[in-house]
Amino acid sequence: MPTPWWARALGWLGLPLTGGGLLLLIVRVAGWLPLPGPFALIRELPTTAAATVAVAIGVLLGLVLAVFVDRESLTVRIGPAEVVLSRPGSACSVPRGEVAVAFPDREQLVLLGRTGRELAREPCHLSARRLRAAFTERGIAWADQDPYLSSYRRWVPGLPEIPATAHALFAARQAAVKSGDESDQRELRTELGHLGYVIRDDHKRQYWRQADG
C-alpha cells in the first residue's frame, strides 16, 4: 500500500509553486517585513528581475522541501511471510508471524510483537482507515492507539528499577530529543529496545515501559 500517486504529485507540484508565490509575495508586496541580507537585496533589483529571482528561489526551496516530504512517503507491503515498511532509501522487514498488532502513533506506524516489544516504527502519512483495512483483511490485529498506553512511565534520571546501562542510553537519547537529532533518537531507541524497553516521546519527554520478554 503506497502513498497515493496524487498525494506525491501534489507535493512535488504544490510545494514549489507555493514557495515561489509566497516568496514573491513577501519580497514585493509585504515590503514592511524585515528580511535577511540576501533576500533584502532582491528588493533592490528592478521589478521584473526581483520577481524572477524571488520566484526562482521560492521554487528551489519548495523543491528541497518536497524532497524531504517524499523521503517520508511510506509503502506498506503485507505478504504471506513478512510485513515490509519501506521509504525511499530504507526498508524495514518484520516476519509476519511475529506481528501481534499494528497501530498509529501520531504520524508514525508502529508494529508490536506478541510480548509487547516494538518491532517497527516508521513515519507514516497514510490514511488510518486504509491501514486498518489492509492489516485486518490479512489477519493482523489493528488498534486505533497504543494498546499499552496506560503502562508508560516518565523517564527521569536515577529511577532505581532501571540499571545504569539503560540510564546512560536514556540520558543520551534525551539529549538527542532536545537537540532534534532524529538519527540518534532512532538508534538509541533500538538500543533500548534490545534491553527490553519501549519508548514513547511526548513534548520532548521520554516515557517508557518494559516488554514482557
Instruction: Report all structural domains of the chain as residue ranges with CATH numbers, in order of start.
Output: 5-71 (no CATH), 75-142 (2.30.29), 150-210 (no CATH)
**Amino acid found at 187:** E
Distance from the first to the final alpha carbon of the chain? 31
Q: Give the model confidence (pLDDT) of 181-192 as tens digits.
A: 999 999 999 999
Indicate the pairing of strand 99-105 with strand 141-142. Answer: parallel
Mean pLDDT of the chain: 81
* pLDDT tens-digit series, residues 91-124: 899 999 999 999 999 889 999 999 999 999 998 8
Report pLDDT for 161: 95
3-state secondary structure of 177: helix
- Assessment of whether the complete model's pTM goes beyond 0.75: no
Question: Above pLDDT 90, what percent of the chain?
Answer: 56
Tell me, what's the pLDDT at 199? Answer: 96
